[in-house]
Amino acid sequence: MTETEFRLNGRVVRGQMADYATLAAYLRDNLGHFEVKAGCGEGVCGACTVLLDGEPLASCLLLARQAEGCTVETVAAAADGLRQALAEAFVRWEAAQCGYCTPGMLLTAYAYVKGGGSFDSPSIRRALAGNLCRCTGYQHIIDAIAEVVSTWPAEG
């Protein structure tokens, strides 16, 4: 057990974390943050993506205690304008079917747009390489992200 502290969605989390517990397992099973999905447990599918200090990362590849001193964000964090715009575009385009990959996908898309990503489809496809979706064929996801990139930042 290791005493660990990090900021989760704007609040301080402090606790004894099992040395073997991954961040994904800790968020889900200890804190009840089930918006972080568990898909493969090996860092490939991206369903458990969180933003660690703003960067998308598979939380199943990180031990909870490695988040010490970091900022961790899930889709449950208060959304800024960009996240709101992405969420609305995902709904408008029906960019989710079963929805299991969606929280991770949305966070990756957010980091991509925020980092100045381009609206061209090959760039978006490369940015999503770490987030697998088995339902949609990605087309509506890409359409939604491209739409937000081309209209963001919103005028005014």
Partner 1 sequence: MAGRRIAGGPGVGGTTGQKFARKDVAAKVAGLVSYSGDTQGAGMLHARLVRSLYPHARITEIAIAAAQALPGVAAVLTARDVPCNVLAEDPSGTGGGVFTQPVLASTEVRYVGEPLAVVVAASPVLADAAAQLVKVTYEPLPAVFDPGLALADDAPPIHPGGNLCVQWHVNKGNVEEVLAQAPVVIQREYATQFVDHAYLEPEAGSAWLEADGVIVIRAATQVIEHYRRLAGMLNLPHSRVRLIAPYVGGGFGGKEDMTVEPYLALAAFHTRRPVRMVWSRQESLQARPKRHPMRFQYTVAASRDGKLEAVDINILADAGAYALLTPRVLFAAAVVASGPYRVLAARVVARAGYTHNVPSSAFRGFGAMQAAVAYEQIMDELAETLGMDPLELRRKNFLQRGDELATGERVETAVWLPETLNAVQAALGPEPQPSRPGLLVGRGYAMNMQPYGRTVWFGDQAAVWMGLENDGSFHLRAGVTDVGGGQAAVLGQIAAEVLGVLPEAVTVHFGDSALTPLTGGTFATRQLYMSGNAAVRAAESLRERIQRVAATLCGGDAKTVVIESQGVRTARGSARWHEVAAAARQAGVALEVLETFFAESGPGYDNRRGTAARTFPDFTYGCHGCDVEIDPETGQVQILQYVASHDVGRAINPLSVEGQIQGGVAQGIGYALTEEVLFHEGQCLNGTLAQYLIPAAADLPPIRALILESGEGKGPLNARGIGEPAISPVAPAVANAVARALGGARVRSLPITGEKVVDTLFER
Binding residues vs partner 1 (CB under 8 A): 20, 28-29, 32, 34-35, 37-42, 44-45, 47, 74-76, 87, 90-103, 106, 121-122, 124-126, 128-142
The least CB distance from residue 133 to partner 1, in Å, is 7
The least CB distance from residue 78 to partner 1, in Å, is 12
C-beta of 143 vs 156, nearer to partner 1: 143
C-beta of 15 vs 41, nearer to partner 1: 41
C-beta of 6 vs 93, nearer to partner 1: 93
Strand arrangement of the beta sheet that strand 71-73 belongs to: 11-17, 2-8, 71-73, 49-52, 55-58
Cβ neighbours of residue 137 under 8 Å, at least 6 residues apart?
Answer: none
The least CB distance from residue 145 to partner 1, in Å, is 10
The least CB distance from residue 134 to partner 1, in Å, is 5
Distance CA 15, CA 104 (A): 25
CA 108 to each of CA 16, 58, 75, 83, 115: distance values in angstroms, whole numbers, following the listed order: 29, 10, 11, 11, 10
Distance CA 98, CA 125 (A): 20
C-beta of 54 vs 92, nearer to partner 1: 92
C-beta of 50 vs 62, nearer to partner 1: 50
Angle, CA of 152, 50 and 27, to the nearest 5°: 145
The least CB distance from residue 142 to partner 1, in Å, is 7
